[in-house]
């Protein structure tokens, strides 16, 4: 049988990235003591009031079809939240409700770019970005971030990679996997590049609520950039609720109208009972985000403190659920190190190669395990590094 080109375009993006994770899981299932630091799932439950609101809504009949754009109550709640945060009126017609940031990214790319187009993305990057770009027929153009410069955005590097085919910049702040938070000046400078070449900015803001300290800057908050900005976000991280699959697109009204049929064609609306809980979630501050911010910041310090002075070098994140560790000092690249660490010490981490080419000599460590488990993982990593050095 023949398959569509999209299956070819995505074929090499899947399983290999998760090989260490899958092997760690299999070893744990077979009885081996494995500390899993690969994927980042919030390690606190979602706020009980959210779960109760969802259950109550389901019990009281909020299980019928929704509209393609989303439930009116959620659209209003999003409009209120964004109006307050952006300091200008944002209408309900500027939103589309979709199952998670991932779907929002997919819809945005389907609606904004196509065959032959190029999308600029900082490298390192979140693991699914290349797939959503390729699925739209476009090509991802990585823009390397310099580890020595703290993985900060370099607007000149973006400008240097613009061609006649460039249509969009996919921005992610706070950033996964580096944990870097773009400053307002950096966002504006990227915006200057976008404006000079008439590019869209797709802004993945899913970690907005997990900044340890300091302000959040969004291109959507800049009046000069708002007309070219499409925000994608969700309650997956802010409310420790990734399984609810509840996210949204915030965009100029015209862009939202153009993206609506794309979302409708995929989804035929979403789930009213989840929309009700999400409306409640976005109406006020998250009851669990503060707890996560404190825990992940403290664990990043714990990791950096415990590994200090050895051959492993920790890049301290400013936000999010992950820390990067430079393992080049062991003489191994990230792939070899992650495989060897799992075999030798039963600790599973993500090889940096899963997040682009810049992190070849790095691994990503999830901070979403209890302090004691992370401390034990540090001991094992230290023992492993020492054994490598004396070998």
Ligand X SMILES: Cc1ncc(COP(=O)(O)O)c(C=O)c1O
**Residues forming the site for ligand X (CB under 6 A):** 100-102, 126, 172, 176, 204, 206, 234, 236, 242, 247
The span from the CA of 198 to the CA of 166, in Å, is 9
CA angle 367–210–286, rounded 5-degree value: 115
Least Cβ distance, residue 101 to ligand X (angstroms): 3
Helices (H), the chain: 5-11, 19-29, 48-59, 72-86, 100-112, 129-135, 155-160, 184-196, 223-226, 253-267, 272-282, 289-307, 334-345, 371-390
Query: Which two tokens mark 185?
Result: 């000046």
Nearer to ligand X, 166 or 176 (CB): 176
Residue with Cβ nearer ligand X (100 or 317): 100
Q: Which is nearer to ligand X, 250 or 332 (CB)?
A: 250
Nearer to ligand X, 207 or 381 (CB): 207
Report in angstroms how near the CB of residue 305 gets to ligand X at its nearest: 25
CB of 387 to ligand X, least distance (A): 32
Nearest approach, Cβ of residue 37 and ligand X (Å): 15
Residue with nearest beta carbon to ligand X:
100
- In terms of CB distance, is 240 or 381 closer to ligand X? 240
Question: Residue 362: beta bridge partners?
Answer: 326
Q: Which is nearer to ligand X, 247 or 272 (CB)?
A: 247
Q: What are the beta bridge partners of residue 202? A: 170, 230
Minimal distance in Å, beta carbon 202 to ligand X?
11
Question: 257: exposed, middle or buried (C-beta count within 10 Å: 0-12, 13-18, 19+)?
Answer: middle
CA distance 293 to 272: 29
Least distance in Å: CB of 369 to ligand X?
16
Reading the block at residue 385, the tokens are: 């590094």
């Amino acid at each position: 049988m023949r398959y569509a080109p999209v299956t070819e375009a995505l074929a090499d993006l899947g399983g290999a990235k998760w090989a260490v994770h899958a092997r760690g899981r299999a070893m744990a299932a077979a009885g081996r003591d494995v500390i899993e630091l690969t994927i980042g799932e919030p390690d606190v439950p979602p706020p009980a009031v959210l779960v109760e609101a969802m259950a109550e809504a389901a019990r009281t009949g909020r299980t019928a079809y929704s509209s393609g754009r989303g439930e009116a109550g959620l659209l209003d709640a999003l409009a209120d939240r964004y109006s307050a945060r952006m300091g200008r009126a944002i209408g309900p017609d500027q939103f589309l409700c979709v199952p998670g940031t991932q779907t929002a990214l997919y819809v945005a790319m389907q609606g904004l770019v196509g065959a032959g187009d190029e999308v600029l993305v900082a490298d390192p990057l979140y693991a699914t970005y290349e797939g959503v770009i390729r699925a739209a027929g476009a090509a991802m153009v990585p823009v390397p971030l310099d580890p020595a410069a703290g993985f900060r955005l370099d607007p000149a590097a973006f400008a240097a990679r613009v061609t006649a085919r460039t249509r969009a910049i996919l921005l992610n702040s706070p950033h996964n996997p580096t944990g870097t938070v773009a400053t307002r000046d950096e966002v504006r400078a990227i915006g200057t590049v976008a404006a000079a070449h008439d590019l869209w900015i797709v802004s993945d803001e899913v970690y907005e609520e997990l900044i340890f300290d300091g302000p959040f800057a969004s291109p959507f908050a800049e009046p000069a950039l708002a007309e070219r900005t499409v925000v994608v976000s969700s309650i997956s991280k802010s409310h420790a609720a990734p399984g609810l699959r509840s996210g949204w697109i915030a965009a100029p009204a015209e862009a939202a109208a153009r993206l609506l049929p794309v979302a409708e064609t995929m989804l035929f609306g979403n789930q009213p009972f989840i929309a009700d809980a999400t409306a409640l979630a976005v109406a006020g501050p998250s009851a669990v985000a503060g707890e996560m911010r404190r825990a992940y910041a403290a664990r990043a310090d714990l990791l950096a403190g415990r590994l200090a002075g050895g051959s492993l070098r920790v890049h301290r994140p400013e936000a999010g659920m992950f820390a990067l560790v430079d393992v080049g000092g062991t003489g191994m690249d990230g792939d070899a190190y992650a495989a060897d660490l799992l075999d030798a010490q039963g600790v599973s981490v993500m090889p940096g190669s899963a997040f682009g080419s810049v992190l070849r000599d790095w691994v990503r460590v999830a901070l979403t395990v209890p302090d004691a488990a992370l401390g034990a993982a540090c001991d094992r990593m230290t023992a492993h590094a020492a054994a490598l050095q004396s070998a």
